[in-house]
């Protein structure tokens, strides 16, 4: 059984991962962590996500000692912000862990991407070069042997799965931009309460998202393809 840890376990993605790991025949859930100052630290994950009651009762712990957490697992999922994953991944990788990063910190190998879209300069280009883009339908072999898997986001995954086979079959003119009509639910914005994501504001509603053309999602889609 491979000991599996989830960092950023209090969010929707963390909860889904905890359930998947618990049900997986070859994995055992070894740790659930949140940031050291999180108000959720110490609470059972089932208290944060009621659907896990009776299934996953492990408490989420504050991530105080990263080295210790890394020494206690074989696999780690980083369900954290881009800049947090950027700093955490090398620590776990140095301990020999296999890292699945759900942020955008290691997805794109382009010089200006991180300063332009994420507001920080990438400090771990050696790991960025080794990271494998985790779109399993296209990178299955590479993923099998990768130590660092950069899991793609929702819009790039949906877009690439639809467009890439058309491009490879010569059915799309690569000099023209295809139209991608993608719609996401508000859960994609996370659990933090906001007026925009409240039920009364969002029910039966459709809101344009980053229509200025500056979205890093567009860049991630085309760089990979």
Give residue 183's pLDDT. Answer: 78
What pTM does this model have?
0.85
The span from the CA of 129 to the CA of 106, in Å, is 8
Question: Domain residues for 123?
Answer: 2-152
CATH of residue 126: 3.40.50.720
Specify whether 154 is catalytic. yes
Q: In this model, does residue 219 exceed pLDDT 90?
A: no
Whether residue 159 sits in one domain with residue 112: no
For residue 106, which phi and psi values (nearest 5 degrees)?
Answer: -130, 20
Q: Where is the domain boundary, 152, 182, 206?
A: 152
Catalytic residue, from 73, 97, 154, 200: name it.
Answer: 154
pLDDT tens-digit map of 72-127: 999 999 999 999 999 999 999 999 999 999 999 999 887 788 888 888 889 999 99
Whether residue 49 sits in one domain with residue 144: yes
pLDDT tens-digit map of 194-211: 666 666 666 667 677 666
Count of the separate structural domains present in the chain? 2
| Contact by Cβ (8 Å): 35, 63 | yes
* Residue 18's pLDDT band (cuts 50, 70, 90): very high
């Amino acid at each position: 059984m491979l000991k599996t840890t989830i960092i950023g376990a209090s969010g929707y993605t963390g909860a889904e991962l905890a359930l998947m790991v618990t049900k997986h025949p070859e994995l055992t859930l070894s740790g659930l962590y949140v940031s050291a100052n999180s108000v959720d630290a110490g609470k059972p994950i089932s208290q944060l996500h009621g659907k896990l009651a009776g299934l996953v009762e492990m408490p989420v712990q504050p991530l105080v000692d990263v080295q210790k957490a890394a020494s206690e697992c074989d696999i780690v999922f980083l369900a954290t912000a881009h800049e947090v994953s950027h700093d955490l991944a090398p620590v776990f990788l140095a301990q020999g862990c296999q890292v699945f990063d759900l942020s955008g910190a290691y997805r794109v190998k382009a010089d200006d991407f991180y300063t332009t879209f994420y507001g920080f300069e990438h400090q771990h280009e050696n790991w960025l070069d080794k990271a494998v883009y985790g779109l399993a339908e296209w990178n299955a072999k590479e993923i099998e042997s990768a130590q660092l898997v950069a899991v793609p986001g929702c819009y790039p995954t949906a877009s690439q799965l639809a467009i890439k086979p058309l491009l490879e079959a010569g059915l799309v003119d690569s000099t023209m931009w295809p139209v991608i009509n993608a719609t996401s639910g508000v859960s994609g914005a996370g659990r933090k309460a906001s007026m925009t994501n409240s039920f009364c504001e969002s029910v039966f509603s459709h809101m344009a998202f980053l229509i200025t053309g500056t979205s890093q999602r567009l860049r991630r889609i085309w760089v990979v393809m």
